[in-house]
């Protein structure tokens, strides 16, 4: 389906930017020595630094520990969203799509893709992105709006009565639609992400 290809292509373009930024962070600074510390009893500001280093490291165990440490803290919705998204497996699966190892040409393929995503983490990521929009919208970039809307859409698919994106009702996908629309409203007119976010928004309203 053309609209499904648009969705995946939109996410992949922005994912490339995220992967490049992540590689820069890893190659310019190694947080591994910092991660030897136990974050459980650290003050909040140091927990945040620990979690940021865990995210930069790309180490699943460190990221899972970091997420557990900060997920219930206030004011860290954006960081929690990024950790949960990484832990959900979505970025790795999208990378496999980009490499041609996984094909997504229809809503059925998208639902198979969804089955490979960690349900708990993708649901959490969608919730944290919504909380970030409510509490700290200025922290969201164009990339965040695209990945956030996709996370919320995946979350809706996981939680829906039908259990798939293809069977979502308007009410079940409303949060994803609202998040994408907020991005279109909040982003500057010249933000290059707007084009891809518009395509994602159009996809969301088309499948309903």
Backbone angles phi, psi at 188, to 5 degrees: -60, 155
Return the pLDDT at 36. 62
Q: What is the dihedral of CA 14, 20, 21, 23, to 10 degrees?
A: 140
Indicate if the pLDDT at residue 75 is higher than 60.
yes
Q: Confirm if 113 and 101 have CB atoms less than 8 A apart.
A: no
Q: What total number of domains does the chain contain?
A: 1
**SS3 for 12?**
helix
Phi, psi of 59 (to 5 degrees): -80, 115
Res 101 pLDDT > 50: yes
Taking only the tens place, the pLDDT of each residue in 191-208 is: 988 988 898 888 888 766
Domain with 35 in it: 2-207
Q: What is the pLDDT of residues 1-55, one digit of tens each?
A: 445 554 555 555 455 444 444 443 433 344 555 556 678 888 999 999 999 999 9
Closest CA to 72 of 61, 83, 80, 64: 80
CA torsion angle for 97, 66, 139, 150 (degrees, to 10)? 30
**What is the tens place of the pLDDT at every residue in 128-170?**
999 999 999 999 999 899 889 988 888 887 787 776 676 777 7
What single-letter DSSP state applies at residue 35?
Answer: G
Contact 152, 130 (CB under 8 A): yes
């Amino acid at each position: 389906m053309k609209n499904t290809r648009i969705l995946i292509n939109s996410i992949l373009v922005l994912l490339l930017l995220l992967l490049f930024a992540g590689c820069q962070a890893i190659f310019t600074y190694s947080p591994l020595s910092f991660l030897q510390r136990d974050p459980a009893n650290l003050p909040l500001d140091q927990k945040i630094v620990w979690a940021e280093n865990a995210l930069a490291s790309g180490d699943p165990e460190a990221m899972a520990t970091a997420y557990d440490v900060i997920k219930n803290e206030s004011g860290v919705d954006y960081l929690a969203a990024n950790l949960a998204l990484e832990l959900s497996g979505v970025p790795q699966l999208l990378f496999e799509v980009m490499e041609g190892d996984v094909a997504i040409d229809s809503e059925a393929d998208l639902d198979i893709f969804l089955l490979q995503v960690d349900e708990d983490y993708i649901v959490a990521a969608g919730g944290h992105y919504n909380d970030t929009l409510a509490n700290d919208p200025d922290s969201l970039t164009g990339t965040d709006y695209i990945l956030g809307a996709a996370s919320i859409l995946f979350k809706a698919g996981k939680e829906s009565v039908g259990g798939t994106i293809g069977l979502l009702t308007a009410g079940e996908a409303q949060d994803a639609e609202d998040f994408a629309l907020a991005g279109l409203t909040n982003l500057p007119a010249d933000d290059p992400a707007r084009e891809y976010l518009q395509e994602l928004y159009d996809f969301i309203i088309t499948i309903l």
